[in-house]
Structure 1
Amino acid sequence: MSKRKQPDSGSPADSLSQNERILYNVIHGKQDMGIWTRDMKKETNLPDKVFNAALKTLQAKKLIQEVVNVQSKGRKHYIATEFEPSKELTGGAWYSEGKLDKDYINLVKDQFAKMIYQQKVATLEGIADAIRKTKIFKTEFTKQQTEEIVRDLVLDNRVMEVKSTGMGEFASIQIGKVCYKCKSKGGTRGETKVGAMASIPCGVCPRISQCTPDGIISPSTCVYFAKWLDF
């Protein structure tokens, strides 16, 4: 259902000319989806000069606003200010001003990873409930958004997908249900493994002075260095 803002009393729409009202009615009729300028011209059949003047007036009176359609960014798209733009237009929570908000997405992913780490083993429902209780984010994530974030964490190799065995740490989870565990402490990004730097073999190698990238002794062929990388 379209989200409508509270209309103002004595709206500027009351003083529109016939042509302005024709254009406004077309835009308003599209509700939260709005309409592309080319389609407006087709539906109103107004001459270009009249159309442009009416469009400018409607914007000046703040009856309509231009919005970014993430699916067609090159097109001028307008919506009546009475409506909140549909998520289909704006891209939803992951977009800001028509652009993918990578900083926000990374923040959300970090919080999701933190919740999974705290629960040790977590289901999608458990993750969503934990995030909701923190009240960190103003908006509540849908089931689809929760799945998208957790799937990204799996692809980032920060979280692994497992199935409950119904025993041990899975005792409270139905057998066979898909759940998630962090691969590192807190599911942090790029975290150095504990003790890894301290145990680097190069520091105690008697042939370090002969080691070169393309030499007979090289990090690329060193079995000890390879084992350290897999630590």
Structure 2
Amino acid sequence: MATSELSQEIEQRVIQLCGEFKQGITYQIIQNDMPELKLPQIVEVINRLLATSRIDMLKKDDDMLVFKLRDPGSLHRIKGAEPEEQVVYKIIEESGTQGIWAREIRAKSNLHLNTVEKVLRKLESKKLIKSFNSVAAPKKKTYLLYELEPDRSLTGGAWYSDQHFDSEFVDILNQQCWRFLEQKTVRARQVAGGPVAVCNASYGSSKEVLKHITDLGITKVQLSIEDIETILDTLVYDGKVERSTAGEGGQGVRLYRAVTSFLPTPTFMTIPCGVCPLIKECDDVGSITAVKCHYMKEWLNLDF
């Protein structure tokens, strides 16, 4: 068999191995599959496949080199790019919506940090990648493919604007969600019959609440069912809303209804015990104040 034919056969087998090992292959895997080959022969074949952009070379955390099949879509997007650009692009592509930092790219590509930063600027200018600052690390740029949106865990989701928690937006949603459920309860009392019927008619699903918020047009952010349920759950914790579930075994649609509280929901710092100078003398917070403490007496305006 001619040398060229043998080389082509080896190349095809390496390509097949890359298809079998989705996580990539190493020199050792190739040698185990073709023990008759010497390392220089394998290196020559690998270099030829890299030069023709049929495979990519990545560096793992333990400095081991791994070879993977090149994605045809990626090849089209970065056709004609320099080898360093191709390597960096591939690493960013594999990070998906989680993105990746420049120093992580440097570690995986084995390129100098200055080279990585230069390549990143080139790829950004070509609109192949983009950068953003995550909520967890606002001072570090995270890179991902231009057409992808970063994972919500990195951006903070709907509650964050420019890496800052938008408390005003959350308060508005909180009020509007509660108002919708309160109005639903009022309508139920006017239409429904007995107490049980009124109670059942007072419930609204998180999907209904989401539609109401969307129809109000108070936000340009596209909210999800999970976002609305997060807001509704805070109302549950505040004692303003009651939650139930429609479906067998507690698995199904979440339902919510407004509840009437006769006293304001106290917090630890708003009840007298929170500021009482004698709190250390109580075995449990409030255990003796209900009958003796003048702070509690004054707060509840009781005559005992």
The TM-score normalised by the length of structure 1 is 0.59
Partner of 2:13: none
SS of residue paired to 2:136: coil
Name the CA distance, whole Å, in 2 between partners of 1:95 and 1:221: 41
Identify which of 206, 216, 225 aligns with 1:143.
Answer: 225
Identify which of 235, 240, 247 aligns with 1:153.
Answer: 235
Q: Structure 1, residues 24-58: CA drift from partner, whole Å, max 9, x if none?
A: 22112323221122221121111223222212222
Partner of 1:127: 209
Q: Which moved more, 1:118-127 or 1:23-32?
A: 118-127
Native 8 Å contact 1:20 1:54 kept in 2: yes
Partner of 2:130: 65
Judging changes above 3 Å, is the alpha-carbon distance between structure 1 residues 73 and 222 closer, same or farther for their aligned structure 2 residues?
closer
SS of residue paired to 2:86: helix
Judging changes above 3 Å, is the alpha-carbon distance between structure 1 residues 19 and 181 closer, same or farther for their aligned structure 2 residues?
same
Native 8 Å contact 1:68 1:76 kept in 2: yes
Give the counterpart letter for 2:204 in structure 1: T
State the Cα RMSD in Å. Answer: 3.4
Deviation, 1:133, is 4.6
Judging changes above 3 Å, is the alpha-carbon distance between structure 1 residues 80 and 183 closer, same or farther for their aligned structure 2 residues?
same
SS of residue paired to 2:134: coil
Identify which of 129, 138, 142 aligns with 1:77.
Answer: 142
Q: 1:43-62 to 2 correspondence within 5 Å?
A: 43-62=108-127
Partner of 2:271: none
Deviation, 1:78, is 0.8
User: Over alpha carbons, which structure has the higher Rg?
Assistant: 2
Identify which of 173, 180, 195 aligns with 2:257.
Answer: 180
The TM-score normalised by the length of structure 2 is 0.47
Name the CA distance, whole Å, in 1 between partners of 2:163 and 2:94: 23
Name the CA distance, whole Å, in 1 between partners of 2:110 and 2:171: 46
Deviation, 1:152, is 1.7
SS of residue paired to 2:144: strand
Give the counterpart letter for 1:122 in structure 2: Y
Native 8 Å contact 1:68 1:77 kept in 2: yes
Identify which of 83, 92, 102 aligns with 1:27.
Answer: 92
Give the counterpart letter for 1:179 in structure 2: Y
- State the number of aligned residues: 171
Judging changes above 3 Å, is the alpha-carbon distance between structure 1 residues 141 and 70 closer, same or farther for their aligned structure 2 residues?
same
Deviation, 1:146, is 2.1
State whether structure 2 residue 167 is matched by structure 1 residue 95: no
Name the CA distance, whole Å, in 2 between partners of 1:183 and 1:90: 36
Deviation, 1:112, is 0.7
Deviation, 1:114, is 1.7
Q: Structure 1, residues 99-130: CA drift from partner, whole Å, max 9, x if none?
A: 22222212211221221121113333343343
Q: Structure 1, residues 147-201: CA drift from partner, whole Å, max 9, x if none?
A: 21012223445x232779xxxxxxxxxxxx96321548xxxxxxxxxxxxxxxxx
Give the counterpart letter for 1:55 in structure 2: L
Give the counterpart letter for 1:33 in structure 2: Q
